Amino acid sequence: MPLMRGVGGAKWRPRENLHITLRFFGEVPEPVADDIDGELSQIADSTPPFEIALKGAGTFGGADPHALWLGVSDHAVLKKLAADCERAARRVGLKPEPHKFTPHVTVAYLSNAALDRVHAFTQRYALFETGVFRVERIGLYSSFVRQGAPSLYRLEAEYPLFGRG
């Protein structure tokens, strides 16, 4: 993405790593993963395809930002999906997610970034907005942290959105 530049100390995410996380499940044993798979299938079956756009920019970390993100416009369906995933996590015995869901795409992690450049980025892209795109499926991914390289994501299962429920 052309906007992913201009901030020293930013570790920009590769295009293939850009995503919206509905719920981070963490490392789980195989039987729990199977239960999560079943729960996500039911959620997808009852959720119709929908449209969203990326809109605006911001940071996580307050006065000492550690990440740059792009927001999501009109995200009521995403919030419902995230709440459904949270309820599913609880049903399979996982602890509650400690952070409030904020629909976003993390575009960079920051390490000793100059605050003026970080603020310039968020101001420059405050009115940023993509065209609308259709979401027709959600996925369950494994993530692998790699030393000195971006995380590696592997698609474990894909769930088409049908809206039957």
- Given 19, 66, 75, 99, the catalytic residue: 19
Q: Which of 88, 83, 58 is nearest to 72 (CA)?
A: 58
Beta bridge partners of 106: 69
119 part of the active site: no
75 part of the active site: no
Burial annotation 68-104 (CB, 10 A radius, 16+ → b, else e): bbbbbeebebbeebbebbbebbeebebeebeeebebb
- Given 66, 75, 99, 104, the catalytic residue: 104
Instruction: Enter the tokens of residue 25.
Output: 């499940």
Q: Amino acid identity, residue 80?
A: K
Catalytic residue numbers, as ranges = 19, 104
